[in-house]
């Protein structure tokens, strides 16, 4: 019974993380590029979350990291923090938001393939069906009344967004074995420490030219949300869920992000409800359920 409750909490954590990501699309626009340049913003995000994770870790049981695991933690910091964030921001600057959103939905497919290759996760027909149903739902919301801009001008940006999706997929699979040996907070604080070392040379110069005096209360609020919410809490929720669930289940929740962003836009009266969005939402929920159904059954039986 206890395990079932933890499994439910893991899914709620994923929902919370993706709710934060969905809101972040609107909040981050308050900051870039008028107040902070992209790489300077990443520098702030990573160092801010790094401090929060290590402070939070002081209240947790101290764990000693085995020397054999530091190499894996370095890889997680490189793929899950530095490459993931730097390539996304760089790619987004030279492609369209629609292209970026669609390309990011390939992440669960990449995770399923990499999981099978590296940690032996089974590729079942139900999981494949769930991923593609979720993909169809996410694409329905993203492309509703819009078009992909397929051109040579966007190619480099699209490539970096794809590399970003691949990088995050590698991170989800690479970090999973560490979750079997350590507490989630222990893992994530070291991941961000090594991630910061990779981010530093790219973001430090843009960080030093931030005009902090130009920040008003609204900008500070958006800044705090991105550091505490989008970076600290979202990563913490994801890593907690990854301790309980397979990487493919965690990644499948990315399909909820365009749905959440759409709901936020509806709440702010910046969008309208259509039958396409309703059907797409049903597809997303169905897809996530099919990807995670095997884990739920395993939890009930154990």
Q: Is the pLDDT of residue 161 over 90?
A: no
Task: Tell me the average pLDDT across 237-264.
Answer: 84
pTM of the model: 0.82
Q: Is the pLDDT of residue 275 over 90?
A: no
Q: Is 279 part of a structural domain of the chain?
A: no
Q: Is 261 part of a structural domain of the chain?
A: no
Task: Tell me the average pLDDT across 91-109.
Answer: 77
Q: Is 238 part of a structural domain of the chain?
A: yes
Q: Is 140 part of a structural domain of the chain?
A: no
Q: Is 24 part of a structural domain of the chain?
A: yes
Q: Determine the number of helices (DSSP H) and then strands (DSSP E) in the chain.
A: 14, 0
Range of the domain at 153: 2-122+147-245
- Taking the C-alpha atoms of residue 248 and residue 86, their distance in angstroms, rounded to an integer, is 23
Q: Is 202 part of a structural domain of the chain?
A: yes
Q: Is 219 part of a structural domain of the chain?
A: yes
Task: Tell me the average pLDDT across 178-187.
Answer: 92
Distances (CA, A) of 47 to 52, 80, 178: 9, 15, 22
Q: Is the pLDDT of residue 170 over 90?
A: yes
* Comparison of pLDDT for 20 and 5, the residue scoring more: 20
First to last CA, the chain: 9
Q: Is 139 part of a structural domain of the chain?
A: no
Distances (CA, A) of 21 to 163, 198, 226: 19, 23, 9
Tell me how many domains the chain contains. Answer: 1
């Amino acid at each position: 019974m206890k395990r079932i409750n933890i499994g439910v909490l893991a899914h709620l954590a994923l929902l919370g993380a993706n709710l934060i990501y969905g809101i972040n699309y609107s909040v981050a626009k308050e900051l870039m590029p008028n107040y902070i340049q992209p790489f300077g913003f990443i520098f702030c995000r990573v160092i801010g979350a790094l401090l929060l994770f290590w402070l939070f870790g002081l209240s947790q049981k101290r764990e000693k990291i085995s020397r054999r695991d530091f190499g894996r933690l370095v890889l997680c910091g490189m793929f899950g923090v530095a490459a993931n964030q730097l390539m996304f921001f760089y790619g987004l600057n030279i492609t369209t938001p629609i292209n970026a959103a669609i390309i990011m939905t390939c992440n669960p497919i990449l995770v399923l393939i990499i999981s099978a290759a590296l940690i032996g996760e089974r590729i079942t027909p139900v999981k494949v069906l769930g991923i593609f149903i979720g993909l169809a739902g996410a694409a329905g919301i993203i492309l509703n009344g819009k078009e992909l801009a397929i051109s040579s001008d966007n190619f480099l940006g699209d490539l970096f967004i794809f590399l970003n999706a691949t990088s995050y997929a590698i991170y989800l699979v690479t970090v999973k074995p560490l979750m079997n040996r350590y507490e989630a907070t222990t893992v994530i604080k070291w991941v961000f420490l090594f991630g910061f070392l990779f981010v530093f040379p790219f973001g430090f110069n843009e960080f030093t030219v931030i005009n902090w005096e130009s920040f008003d209360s609204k900008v500070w609020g958006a800044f705090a949300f991105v550091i505490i919410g989008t970076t600290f809490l979202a990563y913490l929720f994801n890593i907690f869920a990854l301790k309980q669930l397979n990487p493919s289940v965690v990644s499948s929740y990315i399909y909820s992000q365009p749905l959440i962003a759409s709901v936020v836009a509806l709440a702010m009266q910046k969008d309208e409800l259509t039958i396409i969005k309703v059907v797409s939402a049903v597809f997303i929920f169905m897809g996530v359920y099919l990807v995670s159904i095997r884990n739920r059954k395993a939890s009930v039986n154990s």
